[in-house]
Amino acid sequence: MGKEIKLKTLAKMIDHSLLHPTMTDEAIDQGCKIAKKYDVATVCVKPYAIEMSKNILKGSDVGICSVVTFPHGNSTTKNKCLETDEACKSGATEIDMVVNNGKVLGGDFIYVEAEIKAVNEVCLKNKSILKVIFENDYLQNNHIIKLCEICSKIKVAFVKTSTGYGFVKQANGMYNYKGATEEHLKLMRQHCSPEVQIKAAGGVRSLDELLKVMELGVARIGATATEAILEEARKRGYN
- pLDDT of 70 strictly over 80: yes
- pLDDT of 1 strictly over 80: no
Tell me the percentage of the chain whose pLDDT exceeds 90: 90
Query: What is the model's pLDDT at position 3?
Result: 62
Q: Give domain status of residue 1, yes or no.
A: no
Q: What is the CATH number of the domain that holds 203?
A: 3.20.20.70
**148-202 residue pLDDT tens:** 999 999 999 999 999 988 887 888 887 778 889 999 999 999 999 999 999 999 8
Helix (H, G, I), strand (E, B) or coil at 188: helix
Which domain, by its residues, includes 80?
7-235
- pLDDT of 64 strictly over 90: yes
Alpha-carbon span 236 to 87, nearest angstrom: 38
Q: Give domain status of residue 181, yes or no.
A: yes
Q: Give domain status of residue 57, yes or no.
A: yes
Query: What is the model's pLDDT at position 179?
Result: 83
Question: Shortest CA distance to 206 belongs to which of 181, 184, 224, 225?
Answer: 225
Question: Shortest CA distance to 204 belongs to which of 219, 189, 192?
Answer: 219
Q: Which of 46, 80, 146, 199 is catalytic?
A: 199
Q: Which of 12, 36, 131, 160 is catalytic?
A: 160
As a whole number, the mean pLDDT across the chain is 95
Q: Give domain status of residue 2, yes or no.
A: no
- The structure's pTM equals 0.95
Q: Give domain status of residue 194, yes or no.
A: yes
Give me the helix-helix angle, 141-154 and 109-125, nearest 10°: 40
Q: Give domain status of residue 223, yes or no.
A: yes
**75-93 residue pLDDT tens:** 999 999 999 999 999 999 9
Q: Which of 96, 131, 137, 146 is catalytic?
A: 96
Residue 160 designated active-site: yes
- Domain total of the chain: 1
Q: Give domain status of residue 34, yes or no.
A: yes
**15-28 residue pLDDT tens:** 999 999 999 999 99
